[in-house]
Chains A and B, each alone.
Chain A
Amino acid sequence: MPDPTGVAGRLPSVFMTPGTSSFTDFLSVAAPDLLPGARGPLPAPVTDAAHGTTIVAVTFPGGVIMAGDRRATQGHMIAQRDVEKVHHADEFSCVGYAGTAGVGAELIRLFQVELEHYEKIEGSTLSLDAKANRLAFMVKGNLGMAMQGLAVIPLFAGFDTETGEGRIFSYDIAAAKSEERTYESIGSGSVFARGSLKKRFRANHTQDDAVRISVEALYDAADDDSATGGPDLIRKLYPIVASVTADGYRRLTDDEVGPVVDSIIADRTQNSGG
């Protein structure tokens, strides 16, 4: 760790200086090379990095569901069939990404440490809005790389412990944050997923309904977008589905998602939707 002011035999002064509760800000002093975006000048635009595609989030009374397909593509090739694009952010929130897989995974990893670091230093958690804002700063930090072709945007959702409801925040490439009260989808299949959600969303549906329409929206996205993967029944690879409620973050098991996928496929076998 570069710290010219460190005294031999002691913790480097960068650790001992009282200051910020933000891990990102601390890292920008202690080890700026570890920050996303700190890659120095990039050569010509890059386009052949792996890309993650569709993420959906749906609110229901008392919480929110986030789901993502498992496909990463590199041009027309399927780069990975079991990629995870929906992640635990902290006890009451989750985050997913669409876009360049490497950049997205790094963004999420730093975001997770950012929230946990604040919590440990301060002894209290950030508000849901503050978490959403911290994520916006990270997206903003990636603008230069986005312009070079390494674009990624996150989708953030959580349970607001103050209001007792599930909330969704989406971002554009320049970090414009907007809150969605009902549902949102990001990624190349999002156009189709959003259309599906629009027809199926009900204000007072249950958590199970929200899981069902999320998985179905991913099915519709996979149906029409080549970069979005459908459920892989041969390999038993189902969408990643996470719920965030008053009980906290929980990733649904394959034993829970599998039957939902089976029932959707049974329904579509009867009526393919054209």
Chain B
Amino acid sequence: MTMPFGYASPEQQVRDKSEYARKGIARGRSVVVLTYVDGILFVAENPSTTLHKISEMYDRIGFAAVGKYNEFENLRTAGIRIMDTRGYMYDRRDVTSRALANAYAQTLGAIFTESIKPYEVEIVVAEVGLTAADDQIFRLTYDGSIADERGFIAIGGQSEQVLTSLREHHTEGQPLATALRVAVDALTAGAPPGAQNGERTLTAGNLEVAMLDRKRSRRLFKRIVGSQLDGLLEETAASAS
């Protein structure tokens, strides 16, 4: 029996799709999600002030993504719809990041298996708990793999370099300004392809920052912008690497 023209084994197809997705993701800049004393901080290098990589999902749940904008935007919108429908149908307390992460994992997995082109995205779903011990950070990749992380995570292009820096400098219970500095330094360490380390500086102008602050009430997600962001960056400016 002859093989159909252009046959590729399942192993080969999976390898090709993974490589394709990884290449797509590697072109973008990284996003860092890390815990601080009062919650979870999201920091992205993002020159756009309107196209967000970080978003509010529900009362205690935030979202961060890298990769192809239309693809993660589609997933973000779907996530908000699921969360709002669940909260409206049951109760606000019954909306959990685990359910959202599972829905994303199944969706990404199905798209990876069934479609010719996988989604070129990497996603973080994070939920701030009543105490630091209850904080949850889920990382989802293009093939539907899911992992829960403690303390910090970096996704996107140069995530290995960024993670190395985070491992070195992140500790539990850091104040907000310190955690922001740790994140910014880590993002700086992840130089994009072609650029030399330390060539670019990350300022309030090209950072997108948000937090889930457990000291707030009801909706805990808050973007940090303008003078508040400037102030936080200035607090630790002396220790900038």
Question: Residues of A at under 8 Å CB distance from B?
Answer: 1, 7-11, 15-16, 18, 23, 26-27, 30-31, 34, 109-110, 113, 116-117, 120-121, 123
Contact = CB atoms under 8 A, between A and B. Distances in A.
Contacts of A34: 85, 88-89
Given A7-B110, A34-B89, A116-B84, A15 B78 contact: yes
Given A9-B106, A11-B106, A11-B107, A121 B80 contact: yes
A10 B103 CA distance: 7
Interface stretch (B52-60, B154-162, B178-186, B187-195): B52-60
Interface residues of B, number: 25
A85 B77 CA distance: 32
B155 to A, nearest CB: 20
Nearest to B113: A9
B82 A123 contact: no
Interface in B72-87: 74, 77-78, 80-82, 84-85, 87
A11 B82 contact: yes
Contacts of B114: 7
Nearest to B59: A116
Nearest to B88: A113
Contacts of B52: 123
B28 interface: no
Contact of B57 (A8, A30, A120): A120
B14 interface: no
A9 B84 contact: no
Contacts of A121: 77, 80
Contacts of A113: 84, 87-88
Contacts of B107: 9-11, 16
Nearest to B218: A88
B202 to A, nearest CB: 22
A120 B103 contact: no
B176 interface: no
B39 interface: no
Interface string B89-117: 10000000000000110110111001000
Contacts of A16: 74, 78, 107
28 contacts: A1-B85, A7-B114, A8-B110, A9-B106, A9-B107, A9-B109, A10-B106, A10-B110, A11-B78, A11-B103, A11-B104, A11-B106, A15-B77, A15-B81, A16-B74, A18-B77, A23-B88, A27-B88, A30-B85, A113-B87, A113-B88, A116-B84, A120-B55, A120-B80, A120-B84, A121-B77, A121-B80, A123-B55
B85 A27 contact: yes
Contacts of A109: 88
B110 A9 contact: yes
A98 B104 CA distance: 41
A177 B53 CA distance: 38
Interface centre among A31, A34, A116 (most CB of B within 10 A): A116
B50 interface: yes
A117 B111 contact: no
A120 B167 CA distance: 32
A18 B74 contact: yes
B81 A30 contact: yes
Nearest to B111: A10
Nearest to B77: A121
Contact of B89 (A18, A31, A116, A120): A31
Nearest to A18: B74
Most A Cβ at <10 Å: residue of B88, B109, B111: B88
Given A113-B88, A121-B77, 6 more contacts: A8-B110, A16-B107, A116-B84, A117-B81, A123-B50, A123-B52
Contacts of B85: 1, 27, 30-31, 34
Given A9-B106, A11-B106, A23 B78 contact: no
A31 B74 CA distance: 20
A7 B113 CA distance: 13
A121 B57 CA distance: 9
A15 B106 contact: no
